[in-house]
Structure 1
C-alpha cells in the first residue's frame, strides 16, 4: 500500500508534527547538519509561517508517520511562480521510528 498525504483536520496533528520536527533537528545536528532552530518549529511559528490549513500528514495504514506543509504559492522563495503552477512542500519530515525506509522520497515521487 502506498503512503498517502491527508490534509490535517485533527488539532493533535500539530503536536505530532512538532515532535517529528524536533526529532529531525536532533538527528541532523548529531550528523553535523544544522537545518532548523527549535523556535522555527514551534506550533505558533509553523502556523504563522504556513497557515493553519497547510498541514498534511503522511499516512501509512491509518497511522500518521510524518507530515509536510503544502502551499500553492511561496512568495518568499519563488515569488515569480503564480498560484496553480506548482505546489510547494515545506519541512517534509518522517518520524524517527519510520525513517531510512525511503518514505520521504516515495511521498515526493507520488506528487
Structure 2
C-alpha cells in the first residue's frame, strides 16, 4: 500500500471511495455526509487545493482522507500552525479491516510531525463508538465535545512531537 497526495485524475476514484462509505453509513442507519460534500466537483476542488491524500493498492484508490492545517469549524480556538487536521477518512468496503485506516492515520501523524505541528486532531459524531475506538486504539485522546446543529461531536487529539 502506498499513500500519496491525490492527483487531479484521482478525483473520480476518491469521490467514489467517499460515496461508497457514505452509502454504507446511510444503509446501516448512520448517515453522515450529504451528497454535495462527497461529489466529484467538491472532491476535485479539494484535490486542486492539495488537501486530499489517497491510499493505493497498485493503481486502485482504496482509501482517502483530507489533511488540512486549519479547521475553523470544529477547532476555531487552535492557533494556526500548531496542528494538522484529518477529515473525510474513508476506506473501500472491500478493504475494511485490512489496515488502510491505520496506514492513513500513520501517514497523517508523520506528515504533521514533519510539518512541526504539535498535534494531529480530528472529530467524529459522538455516538459512533466503533469509530471512536479505532481512533483511541491509534492513540488519540478525547479532547472535548462540541455541538453542531442537532449533532454532538467528539474532538480528539494526538500529540505528534516528542
Which segments of 5 or more consecutive residues in structure 2 lack a partner in the other structure? 110-162
Q: Which has the higher strand share?
A: 2
Of structures 1 and 2, the one scoring higher in RCO (CA 8 A, sep 6+) is: 1
Which segments of 5 or more consecutive residues in structure 1 lack a partner in the other structure? none
Give the number of the structure whose alpha-carbon radius of gyration is greater: 2
Pairwise CA RMSD: 2.3
Q: Which runs of 4+ in 1 moved over 6 A?
A: none
After superposition, the C-alpha distances for 1:16-38 in whole angstroms (9 at most, x for unaligned) are 11101111111111111111111
Aligned counterparts of 2:46 and 2:56: Cα–Cα separation in 1: 23
> What is the number of equivalent residue pairs in this alignment?
108
After superposition, the C-alpha distances for 1:46-70 in whole angstroms (9 at most, x for unaligned) are 4557862111112345643111111
Structure 1 length-normalised TM? 0.79
Does the 8 Å CA contact 2:54/2:65 hold for their aligned counterparts?
A: yes
Structure 2 length-normalised TM? 0.57
